[in-house]
Amino acid sequence: MARKKKELPAAVVAVIKLARAMGYGYVPIASYFVINQGRIADVIFGRIGLDVPPADRLPPDFPALA
């Protein structure tokens, strides 16, 4: 039986897309949202939220890019 991929809210998908575009790795993004790094890959490779555009800005409490 095939597993159903975990859905993510559009706002989360948008922030993931922006963070990756800014150079954030999978680990800090996944840690911030407390999700599996596989969900980050699902967003980046278009398996989740393909129609969601990147966010305009990161949340104020998002970790700084090191």
CA separation for the pair 22, 28 (Å, rounded): 12
Instruction: Tell me which residue range forms the domain holding 37.
Output: 10-44
Number of domains observed in the structure of the chain? 1
Residue 64 lies in a domain: no
Measured distance CA(25)–CA(29) in Å, rounded: 7
Calpha distance 48→23 (Å, rounded)? 20
Lookup result for tokens 């993510």: 8
Mean pLDDT to the nearest integer, 16-45? 97
Would 60 be classed as within a structural domain? no
Which of the four pLDDT bands, split at 50, 70 and 90, describes residue 1?
low
Element holding 42 (H helix, E strand): helix 37-44
**Residue at 53 is within a domain:** no
- Is there a domain that residue 19 lies in? yes
Query: Is the pTM here over 0.85, yes or no?
Result: yes
Q: Is 59 part of a structural domain of the chain?
A: no
Q: What pLDDT, in 10s, does the model give residues 39-55? A: 999 999 999 999 999 99
